[in-house]
Amino acid sequence: MGSSTLPTPDYRYQSTIRTKDSRSRVSLAEAVGAFEKHLIQEALKKTGGNRVQAAKLLDSTGRIITYKVKKYNIDCRQFRQDRKPTVLHGDDASSS
């Protein structure tokens, strides 16, 4: 699998090491979860919400992606493309 098929990393999910006195800390689990959710959403965008194809992009399985979609509460419907056929109206319909 080539690296060109994977989404570009979004560095806003990276956190810096902070001192004990810092109030805003991000745990490793939270950072990994946020990044994982982002990667899954990007793959779903590229595949029109198709979990199996998204899994292939991420070198994973459809079952794992389905589990993670539920875990992160991702609504796959938002990534589905309108698949209704285009209907010609008026003069356009008679020109064929």
Per-residue pLDDT reduced to its tens digit, 27-42: 999 999 999 999 999 9
Report how far apart, in Å, the C-alpha atoms of 90 and of each of 17, 84, 85, 96 are.
63, 19, 16, 12
Identify which of 43, 57, 39 has the alpha carbon closest to the alpha carbon of residue 2.
57
Domain count across the chain: 1
Q: Is 82 left (phi over 0), alpha (psi -120 to 50) or beta?
A: beta
pTM above 0.85, yes or no: no
Q: Specify if 93 maps to a domain.
A: no
Segment 47-58, tens digit of pLDDT? 999 999 999 999
Give a yes or no: residue 4 inside a domain: no
| CA atoms of 12 and 47, how far apart (whole Å) | 24
Instruction: Give the domain range for residue 63.
Output: 25-81
pLDDT at 26: 83
Segment 50-69 shows an average pLDDT of 97
